[in-house]
Chain A
Amino acid sequence: MTTLHIIYFAALCDATGREEETLKTEAETAKALFHELTEKYCWPFSEANILVAINDRYRPVDTSLQEGDRVVFIPPVSGG
């Protein structure tokens, strides 16, 4: 089990009902964690719509998760 700090923004914050949480998970990659959270919170996005940031940098979705990582799933951006 790995303990992670997850932060939620925008539509994912609304769908999750919280801005952040500390989570124990067996997910070994960001991709696996995304599917775990999608099932838990019924997120309205597919894997193809989402990017992931680990410790405040964009990373590939198959990146392995490490104890204490700060993970943010990035729904489609709409700045500008």
Chain B
Amino acid sequence: MLFQLTNRPIEPLVESLHSHAGGIVIFEGRVRAINDDRAVSSLEYVAYPELALHEGHAIINNVLQQFDILEAYAIHRTGHLAIGDIAVWVMSAAVHRKEAFAATECIINAIKARVPIWKKEYYSDGEAIWVRCDHCAHDHAPCPAVKESM
């Protein structure tokens, strides 16, 4: 599968890549202990699986068409995660590195922008809130190649 959801620890898929792949770019998003100056104790991810899988596959398929790459995959966690756990894993493989970097960034930006997955942050002071990334300062607008299919 090009895009997967899993409630178990992510095990990267890099065993049998295309024999022409010379540039492999992997992005791992991990749970960090601090967010917006608050001490985070853990995270919870909830997904709307039917739509998340559809959108995730569409993102990967679009990137495979728009970039000169050989393979691309992404996996996103659901459930409760501890500090340091991998929350999302994205890989692109190309003949050369430039296209693999661009494709991987495009995939993670598109996942953050449109795949229906939600993050609840649990803080060390006992509070827990759903994160609203529409108000955050991060730049994760999808690249034009992916946005046009939304």
Contact = CB atoms under 8 A, between A and B. Distances in A.
Partners in one complex: yes
A79 B51 contact: no
A77 interface: yes
A79 B48 contact: no
B25 interface: no
Nearest to A80: B112
A80 B120 CA distance: 12
B48 A78 contact: no
A79 B134 contact: no
Interface residues of A, number: 18
A9 interface: yes
A74 B119 CA distance: 13
Nearest to A14: B130
- Most B-side CB within 10 Å, residue of A57, A72, A76, A78: A78
A76 B120 contact: no
A78 B111 CA distance: 9
B2 interface: no
B46 interface: yes
A77 B114 contact: yes
B83 interface: no
A65 B87 CA distance: 35
A22 B119 CA distance: 26
Name which of A10, A56, A79, A80 has the most chain B CB atoms within 10 A of its CB: A79
A75 B51 contact: no
Interface of B: 29, 45-48, 50-51, 54-55, 76, 87-88, 108, 111-120, 130-135, 140, 150
9 smallest CB-CB distances across A and B, nearest first, come from A79-B117, A10-B118, A76-B134, A80-B112, A56-B50, A78-B119, A78-B131, A78-B133, A11-B130
